[in-house]
Amino acid sequence: MKRPTLEAVAARAGVSRATVSRVVNGSDTVNPDIRTAVLRAVKELGYVPNPAARSLVTQRTGSIGLVVSEPPARVFSDDPFFSQVIRTVCLELETADRQAVLMMPSSPDGQARVERYVAGGHVDGVILLSLHGADPLPAALLRTGVPVVSHGRPVSTARPPYCDADNVGGARAAVQHLLDRGRRRIATISGPPDMSAGLDRLAGYREILSGTGRRSLAAIGDFTRESGAAAMAQLLEDDPGLDAVFAASDLMATGALYALRRAGRRVPDDVAVVGFDDIDAARFTDPPLTTVRQPIAEVARTIVRMVLDGADDTTPVIFPVELIVRDST
Amino acid sequence: MKRPTLEAVAARAGVSRATVSRVVNGSDTVNPDIRTAVLRAVKELGYVPNPAARSLVTQRTGSIGLVVSEPPARVFSDDPFFSQVIRTVCLELETADRQAVLMMPSSPDGQARVERYVAGGHVDGVILLSLHGADPLPAALLRTGVPVVSHGRPVSTARPPYCDADNVGGARAAVQHLLDRGRRRIATISGPPDMSAGLDRLAGYREILSGTGRRSLAAIGDFTRESGAAAMAQLLEDDPGLDAVFAASDLMATGALYALRRAGRRVPDDVAVVGFDDIDAARFTDPPLTTVRQPIAEVARTIVRMVLDGADDTTPVIFPVELIVRDST
DNA sequence: CGAGTATCAGAGAGCGCTCTCACAGAGAGC
DNA sequence: GCTCTCTGTGAGAGCGCTCTCTGATACTCG
């Protein structure tokens, strides 16, 4: 009733353990006849290698850690952007015959767990998602010597290699588009100031506006829909005459649309709205949302490749983004 | 430069390997003085147990597989419902000091991988999400002898234990609510007919309607926003006089809202809409969505408990749901 | 025809841990 | 004072696998 071992397969095929190991691991220095005999024995016994025994000697596990660092208060992880990244990373890892171990440390205690877990050699590499500035985790993980790659430019002092979309360029394109549409008073709902996606998109916004000599008007959000709605309300209070807003994420943009509706403003007639990400929902809002599309899948795939390659090439990879014009502008 | 082993810690603390092992694993039959000495050695050397070696002998891994069975065509996994389940499962597992291994087999090949992975003893248990009727995976996994629990009633012939929300009751409540509001011609957008959440919510709808002698009018969706929009368009064509619709998921309901808007129908004046799930976005639609709230977190937590308990109690656990009335009805 | 050279299978030493079992020493009971 | 528990430690045997190294066989070439 026990699971068959290499030994059992070897006995059945009439060869040694070493040969079975060779066949199972696809070595090409095995006589074809012996190989087929071994494969038959494997099939007959339903042999599956014991991963623990294997990784005990190979020092590798075939798993990659996917760490989503999000404070407990934030429900940011409901952002479809996240699901898409996680899904793509997962699929890409499966292509490479690896598994994703999902970790969502939501407390210092959880972070310590992740650190121990990685230091313990549970995973061959780590992908960091949604890094925040003060997060001590990247530094700790880099110290373990395990390959670490960040999704998005890290803001912390520890700088793992990363891959990101062109956040600054995307924000520039969004704001320029609003200017081209003749908007004069353009506000922004920025992301959290401890995340590069927040900072960079704000920087792009400021850059374009300052080029035209206009004042900037910003309210800070945290990428959630709720914060988008609150920020929009705040902006309307600060400057009732605004006629456009650039939200640093689609989720916040949908919150802004909600707040504008409640305030009785028409979109785009009174206020034009641009988002960022191009999540699925952006096509179904009222009105459909103009937004900056980032190549989520490509970034995710690149990150997987980077971490599987050992994360030794530390030059960042930045993907271009694309403005998708719909009816909200 | 190598990682310290138990042996090294033992040498440093001046005790045997066995004693260190006892301390590390929290045995209470160790002399307090020796224990502190060992703990100091552990800290000084930065010792972290090797999980492979440990699970080689204990036959357990500390990981639970989270299998999301979704055909590649469907983007269902963008449903915030999913993210929430995955997040809660993950957090709950971390509480129990376990890790979640995320698997999204999107092809027969991927399913075979999952099967091998589980059979190989990589995980101590499996949680199945989003099971479809014809899926051969549950049966295969049950055969491995590893504890398997399904999130949602399984429709396949293989019947792992499961935990679910009261889908039938929720649908009943939704439709009854529409009747109470004086609606006469109530349609439904159902979920896929190979999933229990689809079937059961449709059953609840039919049950209430047939109780009043009314005809049912259903269009089939697949829980995506796109399918909700398409189904709504279809329903309007089939019966332009309908004055209410019950969508089997909030995501489909938002699609329906979009389709109704495009068709020039006002919600709730012309057509009332009820969803299912109570995702975050439901509060921010135009108008905010009446929906059936299911206790996503409780179900997720229960499932984790079930699988950690060995999935030996096969009686299903069903949680009650709650109708949340907003402005769409 | 014998020495040299590939080619490929087997033997065996671990990888780092847990866990059973033996055993030493302290205290209890007569 | 002696045996009898009881408590707590150490010794050592694996867990199932990989991988190096040895050795056997077949082949090439002078």
Q: Which residue has the tokens 């490479």?
A: A96
Query: How many other C-beta atoms lie within 10 A of the C-beta of residue B4?
Result: 16
What is the structure's pLDDT at A189? 98
CB contact under 8 A, B91 and A104: yes
B72 → chain A, closest CA residue:
A91
Backbone angles phi, psi at B251, to 5 degrees: -60, -45
Alpha-carbon distance of A150 to A89, in angstroms, equals 12
Q: Phi and psi at residue A180, in whole multiples of 5°?
A: -60, -30
Protein A120 CA to nucleic acid D21 C1', in Å? 31
Among protein residues, the one whose C-alpha sits closest to the C1' atom of C16 is: B53
Report pLDDT digits (tens) over A58-114: 999 999 999 998 776 565 567 888 888 999 999 999 999 999 999 999 888 888 899
Is the CB of residue A119 inside 7 Å of nucleic acid strand C? no
Chain B residues with CB under 8 Å of A257 CB are: 286
pLDDT at B154: 93
Contact B113 A97 (CB under 8 A): yes
pLDDT score for B313:
85
pLDDT at A66: 96
Sheet arrangement for strand B244-247:
B217-220, B186-190, B244-247, B272-277, B290-293, B322-324
Which residue lies nearest C15, CA-to-C1' measured? A57
Q: What is the pLDDT of residue A109?
A: 86
Map residue B272 onto helix, strand or coil: strand
Residues with CB under 7 A from strand D: A 2-3, 5-7, 17-18, 21, 24-25, 47, 49-50, 53-54, 56-58; B 14-19, 22, 29-31, 34, 53, 56-57
Instruction: Compare all CA atoms of chain A with the CA of B279 and give the residue at the minimum distance.
Output: A78
Segment A130-160, tens digit of pLDDT: 888 888 899 999 999 899 999 999 998 888 9
In 3D space, the residue among A103, A2, A120 whose CA is nearest the CA of residue B55 turns out to be A120
Inter-chain contact B225–A281, Cβ cutoff 8 Å?
Answer: yes
Residues 58-77 of B with CB under 7 A from strand C: 58
Q: What is the pLDDT along chain B (329 residues), one digit of tens a residue?
A: 678 999 999 999 899 898 999 999 888 888 888 899 899 999 999 999 999 999 999 999 999 999 998 776 565 567 888 888 999 999 999 999 999 999 999 888 888 899 999 999 999 999 999 888 888 899 999 999 899 999 999 998 888 999 999 999 999 999 999 999 999 999 999 999 999 999 999 999 999 999 998 899 999 999 999 999 999 999 999 999 999 999 999 999 999 999 999 999 999 999 999 999 999 999 999 999 999 999 999 999 999 999 999 988 889 999 999 999 999 99
Give the Cα-Cα-Cα angle B299, B303, B306 (nearest 5 degrees).
140
Domains of chain A by start residue, with CATH: 6-49 (1.10.260.40), 63-165+297-319 (3.40.50.2300), 167-294 (3.40.50.2300)
Nearest-CB residue to B116 (from A3, A48, A100) = A48
Return the closest nucleotide (C1') to the Cα of B5: C16
Nearest CA-CA partner of A258 in A246, A273, A244, A243: A273
Measured between beta carbons, which residues in chain B are less than 8 angstroms from residue A78? 80, 83-84, 279-280
Q: In this complex, which of B52, B66, B91 lies closest to A56 when CB atoms are compared?
A: B52
Nucleotide nearest to B48 (CA to C1'): C16
**Which among A97, A121, A284 is the nearest to B51, CB-wise?**
A121
